[in-house]
Amino acid sequence: MLDTLFHNATVVTAAADFAVFQEALVGVRAGRIERIETAPVGATLPRAKETVDAGGGLILPGLVNTHTHLPMSLFRGLADDLPLQQWLSEHIFPAEAKHIDPEAVRLGASLAAAELLLSGTTTCCDGYFYETEAAEAVERMGLRAVMGQGVIDFPAPGVPDPSRNIDHAEDFLRRWKNAADRIRPSIFCHSPYTCSSATLIAAKKAASRHGVLFQIHVAETRMEADQIRAEHNLSPVAYLDRLGVLDADTLIVHGVWLDGEDIDLLAARGCPVSHNPQSNMKLASGVAPVAKMLQAGIRVGLGTDGCASNNDLDLFAEMDTAAKLHKAVLLDPTVLGAEQVLAMATCNGARAIGWGDEIGSVEVGKAADLIVLDTAAPHLMPMYRPVSHLVYAARGSDVRDVMVGGRFVVRDRKLLTADVEELMDRVAVRCRTIGTSSK
């Protein structure tokens, strides 16, 4: 007998053939997808402990957000529309120095997890400090996540002595390896310009030793690319390659300022890339050459970045932006088509963070990370092609139900894993002091 049966749905699998099943059912048992098949309304349904009518809506894999800084949800909208250095040095860095402590990280990560789940993201790939506290919060909220302990060559929240940053990160890996089904630890090096070559090499070695993902912001801004070139006479990507840190388990975040050689190098090393169009746009970093990356066969996932630079975590909005941005810049309406972009937010995102064997598509044997979209709304009518709607018309608020690993975490748009009202009250109280001190 199945644990959960979804029926009366159109299933967008995001599997290799991108099959779409009309009038279909999805059966879940022991946390995994056990069957997917066509079942016209009125057909006899398989037995299940719980049967859920999807109401003619869409079922798709839970979305995968390949780049977040969850606790920064507390800085959402704190400062916008400013030159990057002023935004960082006058607002974000002071706010982090003053307000980021273990309790703030728990609170901010919980708020972000609530936002992610309610808008259909079931997995994120995070990087921040006090990452143990963030991982505990995320685990409790029911999200699946790669959690990366931050490494930077400056005093950082929870790591006052930068000479201890690798040890600290390795402690984090030991603590979280196999500690929780839905949490995978990782190391997140801030960037090639804030970490020395020794730090980068040591951090990557530690990540490899533990068999975990190594994440790093690379070539986000022209300033960074110019600085690395001035210091090393190499592009950021070529510099990292010389250090030996580029391989299939190194997630390149941003990759805005890449030339053709950088793209070829990333493809040759098998490096996945996290594309964060809205953050890159809002901070005026530029437009990543994603169409070329895809042509080169690079695994590209989609990310929102942190709430301080987006200012939300809605991956539906991010899909819409990704699909449109590159068309405008390249003057070519055929690049980044809807299917390709949906793949970035699902199967390819999962592959980019090294979890593609378990999640990212609706396939028999995969973890039951599923979302149900309510499509009975004027902005989703009519519906000729579901994939088009998912990218170009749907919003996070259309997500009705969310399941992670076979367990419901959202039902009828309500989060089941936390008291959202109480969480928002705590956020409001805590953030009163942040708003005041940043002015």
What tokens appear for 36 in the block?
A: 């997917």
Min CB(293)–a copy of itself separation in Å = 17
Task: Please state, in angstroms and as integers, the Cα–Cα distance from residue 223 to each residue in 92, 373, 393, following that order.
Answer: 18, 41, 35
By CB under 8 A, tell whether 176 contacts a copy of itself.
no
Min CB(161)–a copy of itself separation in Å = 31
By CB under 8 A, tell whether 114 contacts a copy of itself.
yes
Candidates 247, 332, 357, 419; binder of a copy of itself (CB under 8 A) is 332
By CB under 8 A, tell whether 26 contacts a copy of itself.
no
Q: Pick the piece of the chain touching a copy of itself (CB under 8 A) from 132-140, 205-213, 343-351, 378-386.
A: 378-386
Min CB(346)–a copy of itself separation in Å = 18
Min CB(394)–a copy of itself separation in Å = 9
Min CB(114)–a copy of itself separation in Å = 4
159 secondary structure, DSSP code: B
By CB under 8 A, tell whether 94 contacts a copy of itself.
no
By CB under 8 A, tell whether 414 contacts a copy of itself.
no
Find all residues with CB under 8 Å of 22, minimum gap 6, and list them.
10, 38
By CB under 8 A, tell whether 395 contacts a copy of itself.
yes
Q: Pick the piece of the chain touching a copy of itself (CB under 8 A) from 42-50, 109-117, 153-161, 202-210.
A: 109-117
By CB under 8 A, tell whether 81 contacts a copy of itself.
yes
Candidates 72, 183, 313, 373; binder of a copy of itself (CB under 8 A) is 313
Among candidates 293, 290, 288, 197, which has minimal Cα distance to 245? 197
Q: Are 60 and 360 in contact (CB under 8 A)?
A: no
Candidates 163, 382, 412, 422; binder of a copy of itself (CB under 8 A) is 382
Among candidates 370, 368, 389, which has minimal Cα distance to 379? 389
By CB under 8 A, tell whether 285 contacts a copy of itself.
yes
By CB under 8 A, tell whether 314 contacts a copy of itself.
yes
Q: Pick the piece of the chain touching a copy of itself (CB under 8 A) from 150-158, 171-179, 274-282, 352-360.
A: 274-282
Min CB(321)–a copy of itself separation in Å = 7
Q: Pick the piece of the chain touching a copy of itself (CB under 8 A) from 44-52, 207-215, 231-239, 423-431.
A: 423-431
CA distance 28 to 41: 19
What tokens appear for 236 in the block?
A: 């950021």
Please report, to the nearest 10 degrees, the dihedral formed by the alpha carbons of residues 383, 386, 388, 391 taken in order. Answer: 120
Candidates 250, 278, 348, 417; binder of a copy of itself (CB under 8 A) is 278
CA distance 116 to 313: 6
Find all residues with CB under 8 Å of 145, minimum gap 6, and list them.
123, 124, 125, 126, 135, 138, 182, 183, 184
Place of tokens 């349904």: 45
Q: Are 176 and 134 in contact (CB under 8 A)?
A: no
CA distance 73 to 88: 16
Amino acid at 260: G
Q: Which is nearer to a copy of itself, 9 or 48 (CB)?
A: 9
Find all residues with CB under 8 Å of 32, minimum gap 6, and list them.
365, 366, 367, 368, 406
Site for a copy of itself in 231-270 (CB under 8 A): none
Min CB(209)–a copy of itself separation in Å = 37
Q: Write down how long the chain is.
A: 439
By CB under 8 A, tell whether 381 contacts a copy of itself.
yes
* Phi and psi torsions of 126, nearest 5°: -110, 155
Q: Which is nearer to a copy of itself, 22 or 196 (CB)?
A: 22
By CB under 8 A, tell whether 286 contacts a copy of itself.
yes
Site for a copy of itself in 45-74 (CB under 8 A): 73-74
By CB under 8 A, tell whether 397 contacts a copy of itself.
yes
Candidates 40, 42, 160, 384; binder of a copy of itself (CB under 8 A) is 384
Residue 210, number of CB atoms within 10 A of its CB? 18
By CB under 8 A, tell whether 115 contacts a copy of itself.
yes
By CB under 8 A, tell whether 99 contacts a copy of itself.
no
What tokens appear for 270 in the block?
A: 């098998």
Site for a copy of itself in 201-230 (CB under 8 A): 222
Residue 168, number of CB atoms within 10 A of its CB? 18
User: Euclidean distance between the first and final Cα of the chain, in Å?
Assistant: 59
By CB under 8 A, tell whether 82 contacts a copy of itself.
yes
CA distance 312 to 76: 8
Q: Are 98 and 401 in contact (CB under 8 A)?
A: no
Candidates 267, 287, 296, 358; binder of a copy of itself (CB under 8 A) is 287
Min CB(228)–a copy of itself separation in Å = 18
